[in-house]
Every structure is written in structure tokens, then in C-alpha cells.
Structure 1
Amino acid sequence: MSATASSGGPASLASISWRGQVVQVEYQWIAPERTQAPLVVFLHEGLGSVAMWKDFPAQLCAAGGFRGLMFSRPGYGRSTPRAPDEHWGVDFMHRQAHEVLPALLQALGVVEAPWLFGHSDGASIALLYAAKFPNHVAGLVLLAPHILVEDVTIANIELARTAYETTDLRNKLGRYHDDADSAFWGWNRIWLDPAFRTWNIGADITAVRAPVLAVQGLDDEYGTLAQIRGIAGRVPGTQLLELDGCAHSPHRDRPGDVISETVAFIHGACGTRP
């Protein structure tokens, strides 16, 4: 797998070789001038992108004095869309963690061990990366991660499918993705595939050695506390943050708490002050 990078303003494209073809990956740096600061890489949710993070990553990096890197996975945002006949397999998150993320970091010249800040599918990908490359990650902040498939998850993803087909959800997603169908159907079809019901990364994550902060809203419509508590049971030293008045997106519902806890967690692990 080879990769090259090009820069073109606030949002740029990196070329990586993946699945036998060259794909473009949208990325954006935050405060790159902080060359000695911890680097936080943001991994978006199953329908996310660089733009859908909005200003949260910049706020977090400003509060902690961090550098940041956002990117849209292939199929999302301004990255190369998924081909209409391309169906993701049960291992799609493993492939993102083991192939795409390492290729992108190589393309962008990242040689240090970054902090990974993941949301939902992005949090699961962060866990899989840390398990595969334990010496190449400083730590993990996981918002609403998935380590197994729950009935509540499937029920609400089915509702999302109905909303996409019958409401203006497609147009709303079109604000953040060059190809909304690419983003939505890639995510929705694999999660609703009967073969995916047995997906479980509990055994994989026992290899994680990095410090972990796992965050879950008590009103999360896509998962229960079994997710983060399952991580704590498999990764010693995991810190849990359970937030009331919070659904599947803690960084939107409780941004102040997520920022303060993340800043304290990273600086505590680094032995530094904010």
C-alpha cells in the first residue's frame, strides 16, 4: 500500500492506494503550528465527515493546546465515494483500522503515536487500530463506541433507513457529503445485513495497551452502557464517563463535559498541564 499527499487550503486531499485503486481522502489540520503538542486524530461516526464535526475539534484543541487532524473516510465527505455496486463486508471497520488509517498517516508524514478521538463507528475503528498497532497510538478517547451489535442499534438503524427513504434526510446529508447515497447506504446496508449481527470485537480489543477514556450518553439511541463497560472489562485501566441528558453524540449534547474530561485525560496521561 502506497500513499502520497497534496495540500490545497483548509481542506485538502491525500491520495492512498487501497483495494487496488487510488482513492482520495479529505483531511484538515488544526493548529499545525503547535509542533510539540500532542496530536489528536478525529475519527467520525458512521454518517460523519470532516464538515460534520463542525467546530468541536477546534474547540477541543484550543482548550487542550493540541494539534488536530480530521479526515473523511473513503465513501464520505469530499473523499472518493463508494461505487454504487460496492457492498462493505463484515470486516469493514477492521479494514479502515488496519489499512486506511495507517496509509493516511503515512501519506501525511505522521510518525509520532497520535491520540485517537473516535465517535461511534470511528471509536470502534480507533479501538481496532490500537489493538493492531499498540506501539503507534498514545491513547484513545471513545464516544459511544460499538464492540458488539445490540437490538437497540439495529432497531434505530432501521428507522434511519425509513427516514432516508421518506424524509429530507438525504438532502440534509448532502450538505456534508459529495455523494449522500455513498455515505448512507454503505453504512446502513452492512449494519442491517444479517451476517453483521454476530460482529463482535471483544476478543480483538484485549490487545489494547493504550490509556482509554470511554464516554456514553445514558440516552444513547444506538447503544447501551454494555458497550463501554465491556471495554472496561477487557482493557485494564479504562476510565468511564457516563453522561445523563446525552444521546449518541456526547460532543454535541454535552460538549463542555467532553472537552474538559478529554483535556484532563490527555494531559494527565502525558504528565503535563493544559
Structure 2
Amino acid sequence: MITAIQDCVLINQKNVFYKHFTHTEQSRYTLVLLHDSLGCVTLWRDWPALLAEHLHCDVVVYDRVGYGLSDKMTTTVRGRDYLKDEAVFLKVFLEELELDKVVLFGHSDGASIALLFAAMYPDSTLALVAEAGHIFVEQVTLDGVRAAKTAYETTDLGERLVKYHGTKVDDVVKAWVDTWLSPAFADWTVEQEMAGITAPLLFIQGDLDEYGSLAQVDKTIQRAKGIAEKVIFPNVGHTPHKEVKELTLETIVAFLNKNL
């Protein structure tokens, strides 16, 4: 049986909303979920509870500052190191929750944050699963961001996101789009940093991912120092955990049960 509590923690004068799912049996570890560039706690839907149930672990999921039920971001202007900054923020967040070593699961931006956290804080990382992460800029990524920008400007995407981000929607989209399409971000890469990853790593991606090629997977796997495996889902796009939900769950459970 899974129980869940929700609360806020104050970090850098910002309230950060989170949910903590607890397995009523003895939990093996705590798994932290990291959402994508337009995501939040609510958009994970039943995924946290499913992972907690199948892995017999606790699961923590939170809204980064500016998203969901967390406080509004101070500015939409981001530097080249914003994903590293989020990894540092995650470390502070975990310390506030008195979590020392964790397993990470991140999607898209969240996967990049998970990869960077594992590289920067190897002693705090038991294992990680990266879903559709990015470690460098590709044309396909920029094309995908531009398409999302157009959808936001010409469809009801913004109205649908209000349900999850409230009055913060414009800031959420602007921060993402303006950063990735900025000329200053065009040559961004953290490929070298991946050599700092020593924890078991599973990188999953769809072969039709509209935001990144399989080079993102291969270059990450090649750099990582510990156990590093990849699973590529055929005919799947950017969100395997939604598009092939059961298969993704089975893949993650098998990997973590084998390596922890």
C-alpha cells in the first residue's frame, strides 16, 4: 500500500511544493522524480505511485521553482548553466528533506538535471534513469522547441497548461524557449561532465524523439564510468513513460532491481 503526503519547503526564499509517496512495507530507497521543461508534480499523474508500488521504495516528486504549485521564478532569463544550477538546487532540496543517497528518474530537462547531479554528486547517487535527456544542443532539439513555441502561440496549449501552472504559464514557456533558442546557448554542452557519473545508469529514449537524436544516448553512455545501459523504444517519441507506459515501467523496474 502507498501513502502520500504533500508539503512545501522554503529554499532560497522560495516555497517548493513536493509530494512524498511512502511504501507501507520497508522502503528500499528513495526515488526522486524530475519533471520536464513544461512539467510539474501533477503532470506525472499516477507514475510516482506506480514506481513506489513496483519498486517497493519511497518516491519524492517536486515542482521546480516557477512550476506547478511552487513559487514564481524571479526571472525568465537563464544562463548557460541553468541545468547545473538546478542540480545544485536539488542537492539543497534533498538536504532539507534529510535525504542523503537517492535514486533519480528524470525526463527531458529533468533527465539532464539527473545526469548532472549524478556527475556532480556521485556519493549522493545510488542509481539513475534518464529519459530523453540532453547533454548538447542539436538541430532537432531547436526544431522541436520552435514547434512548441508555435503551438503555444497558435493553439490552446497555453490554456491547457494554466491548469497546472496557473499564472506562471507564460514564464514557464518563455524561460524554456528563450534559453534554448538563444544564440548564446547554441554551443552548449555538458558531454565532458558525463565522465563523473559512477552510479548505475539507464538511458531510455524513443527512436522517434522529436527533441533529440540517439547521439544524446550514445555519447552519455560512452562517457559514464559505471554500469551504463540504454534501451531504445521503437516507434516512440519524447515521452516513453506515457506512450509505452507498461513497457517503460517494466524496463526501469528490471534495471533498478538488478543493480541495487
Q: TM-score, normalised by structure 1?
A: 0.90
- 1:11 offset after TM fit, Å? 2.9
Aligned twin of 2:37: 46
Do the aligned partners of residues 34 and 95 (structure 1) sit closer, same or farther apart at CA in structure 2, a change above 3 Å counting?
A: farther
Residue by residue over 1:75-118, the C-alpha shift from the partner in whole angstroms, topping out at 9 and shown as x without a partner, is 111111123x54111111010002x101111111212x100000
Corresponding position of 1:124: 112
SS at match of 1:146: coil
Match of 2:164 in 1: 176
C-alpha contact 1:190 1:196 (8 A) present in aligned 2: yes
- Range 179-188 or range 120-129, more displaced: 179-188
- Asked whether the 8 Å contact 1:11–1:28 carries over to 2, the reply is yes
Structure 1: where are the runs of 5+ without partners? 1-8
- 1:176, CA displacement in angstroms? 1.1
Shift of 1:199: 0.8
What root-mean-square deviation, in Å, do the aligned CA atoms of Structure 1 and Structure 2 show? 1.3
Indicate which of 199, 205, 215 corresponds to 2:194: 205
- Work out whether residues 34 and 67 of structure 1, in 8 Å CA contact, stay in contact via their aligned partners in 2: no
Helix, strand or coil at the partner of 2:27? coil
Partner of 2:185: 196
Distance in 2, matches of 1:186 and 1:34, equals 41
Corresponding residue number in structure 2 for 1:226: 215
Q: Deviations over 1:128-164 (max 9, x none)?
A: 1111111011011010010111101101101111111
Provide the TM-score with structure 2 as the length reference: 0.94
In 2, the alpha carbon distance for the partners of 1:163 and 1:264 equals 37
Does the CA contact (< 8 Å) of 1:50 and 1:72 recur in 2? yes
Superposed displacement of residue 33, structure 1: 4.1
1:1-274 → structure 2 map (5 Å cutoff): 10-17=5-12, 22-31=13-22, 33-83=24-74, 85-98=75-88, 100-111=89-100, 113-178=101-166, 179-236=168-225, 237-270=227-260
- Aligned partner of residue 215 in structure 1, secondary structure: strand
* Corresponding letter in the other structure for 2:178: R
Unaligned runs of 5+ in 2: none
Q: Is the 8 A contact 1:76 1:182 kept in 2?
A: no
User: 3-state DSSP class of the match of 1:24?
Assistant: strand
